[in-house]
Amino acid sequence: MLGRVVGLTSVGVLVAGCYSLVPATGPAPEVGKQMAFDMNDAGRVALGGSMGPEIAQIQGRLLARDTDYVVSVTAVKLLRAGGEQTWGGEAVRIKPAYISSMYERRYSGGRTLAATAIGAGLVAAVAVRSILGGGAGGDVVRPADTSQTQRIPRP
């Protein structure tokens, strides 16, 4: 049981803390990179019919770059509710005129270190609790003597 908890926690830490979105540098991002595109008002209007009217950001893998960006969409972040829609990799063509900012997903050493420290703390807390028996149970409560009970000593 403890091994399973440690394994799942380790996987969660490695997946969660390793990457962050940073502003894209250079004239053209490489095909195959994970990207995020902040949409301007023209982009929201143009893509609103197929993707929804409140698009704040489109995330996904860059499939092609000719005059437009072709993106395999994995998530769409929304403006007002602050919500996020998960997509299954559908290809969407985005014109450069629709984009206000571009980001690349890159490895983040600081986030990985912080997530590893938190994960190690959680694993240590679970291990100590399991070893010391700090789970359910605790002290055994015995009923007090009442007028209906009588204790008879054993010989």
The answer, as to whether pTM is greater than 0.85, is no
The per-residue pLDDT for range 138-151, each reduced to its tens digit, is 566 666 666 666 66
For the segment 94-120, the average pLDDT, to the nearest whole number, is 78
The per-residue pLDDT for range 42-91, each reduced to its tens digit, is 999 999 999 988 899 999 999 999 899 999 999 999 998 778 999 999 99
For the segment 1-24, the average pLDDT, to the nearest whole number, is 64
Distance CA 151, CA 155 (A): 13
Average pLDDT of the chain to the nearest whole number: 79
* Of the candidates 43, 57, 28, the residue with the CA atom closest to the CA atom of residue 98: 43
Burial class (CB in 10 A: 0-12, 13-18, 19+), 61: middle
